[in-house]
Structure 1
């Protein structure tokens, strides 16, 4: 495929409005609001939500006969609230994971286990991870870090301090690189998973957290990072991991869909916060935005019968 220079000029808000209108998107009753949102949210960000309103083939850039700007904005609002809800759940899970990793490793290998290369599989990966952690500790302005530096000789603080200021991404790589054995298994078993599965779930949660934190579209997304599907679990999990593609009549696995992430969160919350109301909050969100089809997130037809969602 021959590449070409990008030559499209920037459009004024009015020109953006007129382009969408000429392609068949209705603005009836919301012209002023639409211009305001094009300015404050941007044409490009909103385009991910009106894309679903395009008629096939979508490359023609023509909207369906009943497509209205408010429909796209409703999808945008749903997606925003879904991301906030997911971030809230990930925060609880992340805090619990930090606490368990610090506790189990400290009791197995001592206070400064993070600095000991012998506790890790790859020495080169450990060197990179510790270098990054030193940077995160040195950037921190937390009072407990400052007090530690003023009082103690060891450069890297005890794990319960260092892990408090490292990123979730750093934490996931540290766990991934831990040498196999009882300690690593003890950590993953606290969350009802095998350690090899838990590694992939951690990386996926980091990816989802970053997606939400950067305000990227999530609700109907095909995920780039896929978590391993657990074969055996100690807590309630889903039975059906497939949907039927109505176009090809082929079964499609849901592990690249947002629904699978919601299942992951619900599963982990069983140990982190057994009395959680995550399902109820999700139900309220879908009630608030009836335009949103659960299947767009990858929900299976029989999701309500799954033990996880009972």
Structure 2
């Protein structure tokens, strides 16, 4: 069991592990605002062999160096907020349109048979109804017309219902709706590749959630990554250089393709790449994510 340490003790601990700290008071202020545990997720990549029990920092490592990576990661999450929001709104619009024009704007999207759900998973329609029911928006509350006061959304148009769904529920609707054909319909509406489209949307939900919860993007490998089309990936690599297919950069390339084709904004990746040198520690951690080194040097 690890003991609970005060901020000053945390600073002292890092110092005993050979981390060069130029201003201990500033280091303490930073940890008090950002949390030692969160910071240590970045620091491990600068230690000799944390998985092997050697938590000493590699010679010459400074607190300011690790803080620079930490703050660059924070800036990246902030930079992704707008394009991810644009993509989400775009998907809401085209999903509502596809359902309304192909399946009708009322009722059908609230039927369990509209969705093809995997075995032992929550029925998608339950998630849809839960999101709608807990909405306090007037455009939703207006349709609670059951005589006994129970929610009744049979007259709620899909374009209104879509606005009440979480991004995760919207993703499930796209993936499972209309016998799994809704994903193709939405992709066609947007003018993007149908192949793997639902999984690309799932990846954007995952990326948005990591940004919303301030989770680390640097050296993060997206295990369940959506299949970014080869032509989209190749185009992105020509602009910014090589990157791993499970890297955050690959997910951003997919995001750019969606918002550009949907005319919902400008690509984010070129701007992000322009903020960092290709050989920098931060950029390399985005392009080629890995676990912390477990070796002695």
Same fold? TM cut 0.5: yes
Q: Normalized against structure 1, the TM-score is what?
A: 0.79
Q: Normalized against structure 2, the TM-score is what?
A: 0.82
1:1-310 matches, within 5 Å, as: 7-28=1-22, 30-56=23-49, 59=52, 60-112=54-106, 113-122=108-117, 128-149=123-144, 154-156=152-154, 157-179=156-178, 184-230=183-229, 236-238=232-234, 254-273=244-263, 276-286=266-276, 291-298=280-287
Deviation of 1:131 after TM superposition, in Å, equals 1.7
Q: Any idea what the Cα deviations from partners look like across 1:169-217, whole Å, max 9, x if unmatched?
A: 1011111112358754231123444434111101111111111111110
Deviation of 1:119 after TM superposition, in Å, equals 3.1
2:77 match: secondary structure: helix
- 1:184/1:23 CA distance change after superposition, 3 Å: closer
Name the structure, 1 or 2, with higher relative contact order (CA <8 Å, separation 6+). Answer: 2
In structure 1, runs of 5+ residues without a counterpart are 1-6, 242-251, 301-310
In structure 2, runs of 5+ residues without a counterpart are 290-297
Would the aligned equivalents of 2:115 and 2:180 in 1 still touch at CA under 8 Å?
Answer: no
- 1:142/1:56 CA distance change after superposition, 3 Å: same
Q: Say how many residue pairs are matched.
A: 279
- 1:282/1:27 CA distance change after superposition, 3 Å: same
Aligned mates of 2:132, 2:180 — CA distance in 1: 28
Partner of 2:292: none
RMSD, aligned α-carbons: 3.1
